[in-house]
């Protein structure tokens, strides 16, 4: 479904990614893990079109993404839940969800997607008329995921969904992400600092460090590698 081949990207003179190659099959749950500054968020921004890579190629279902502006990639079925949630604080919960339904697929499936969002996160239904900026951090993260789902995505990219949230809320978020993958066969790519939680439900993992892919494989293989555990994942 998605293939990044030898992607390099920079912020000015600073190289953030060094010839990273990643492949995601349809229906897979892929985790991208690694320390702060590894290039994980930059990788997502290159897929979404927010950063233009210096070299390499990105294909989505055989189509060259680098030929498309960012605004057109959502219409292909790519949804990006950004780091820090970034909900529209001056709009209501319902209006935020409507903003997510802008792609043609989302407009066509609006009623079904709205029911799906409210079923996954009942608190959003309860607060549908409340301004998003007044929600708690956990509720805003639920809304950010719901807004992405409103577009009827084929590929859902989640950037640090646990950031700044209480452990009990994080557990709920991860449970719902797992539900989305199991029940809808949605293809998911997750960037996450909580390594064990990220690897546990996934099918394939990539470890980034200083902009390079230093390891890849099934999650149990990654977690059993003592060198990777200690050097890159920060666990003993």
Query: What pLDDT does 234 receive?
Result: 64
In this structure, are residues 129 and 52 in contact, taking their beta carbons and an 8 Å threshold?
Answer: no
Contact partners, residue 2, CB within 8 Å, separation at least 6: 22, 23, 24, 47, 58, 59, 60, 61, 155, 187, 189
Domain(s) of CATH 3.40.50.300: residues in the chain: 1-77+154-236
Q: What percent of the chain has pLDDT over 70?
A: 97
Query: What pLDDT does 235 receive?
Result: 65
Q: What is the mean pLDDT of the segment spanning 131-157?
A: 96
Confidence band of 183 (pLDDT split at 50, 70, 90): confident
Give the lowest-confidence range in 15-24, 130-139, 150-159, 183-192. 183-192
Query: What pLDDT does 118 receive?
Result: 97
**Quick one: fold of 1-77+154-236?**
Rossmann fold (3.40.50)
Q: What string of DSSP letters covers 68-106?
A: S-HHHHGGGTEEEE-TT----TTSBHHHHHHHHT-SHHH
């Amino acid at each position: 479904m998605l293939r990044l081949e030898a992607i390099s990207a920079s912020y000015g003179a600073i190289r953030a990614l060094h010839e990273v190659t990643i492949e995601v099959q349809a229906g897979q749950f892929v985790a991208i893990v690694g320390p702060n500054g590894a290039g994980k968020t930059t990788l997502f921004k290159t897929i979404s079109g927010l950063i233009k890579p210096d070299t390499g190629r990105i294909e989505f279902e055989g189509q060259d993404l680098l030929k498309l502006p960012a605004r057109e990639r959502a219409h292909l079925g790519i949804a990006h839940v950004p780091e820090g949630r970034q909900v529209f604080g001056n709009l209501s919960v319902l209006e935020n969800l409507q903003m997510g339904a802008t792609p043609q697929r989302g407009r066509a499936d609006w009623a079904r997607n709205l029911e799906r969002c409210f079923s996954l996160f009942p608190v959003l239904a309860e607060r549908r008329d409340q301004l998003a900026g007044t929600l708690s951090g956990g509720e805003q993260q639920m809304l950010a995921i719901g807004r992405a789902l409103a577009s009827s995505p084929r590929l859902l990219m989640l950037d640090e969904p646990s950031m700044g949230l209480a452990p009990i809320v994080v557990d709920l978020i991860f449970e719902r992400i797992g539900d989305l993958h199991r029940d809808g066969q949605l293809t998911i790519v997750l960037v996450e600092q909580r390594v064990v939680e990220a690897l546990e439900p996934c099918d394939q993992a990539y470890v980034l460090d200083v902009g390079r892919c230093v390891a890849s494989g099934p999650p149990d293989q990654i977690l059993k590698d003592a060198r990777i555990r200690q050097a890159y994942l920060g666990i003993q």
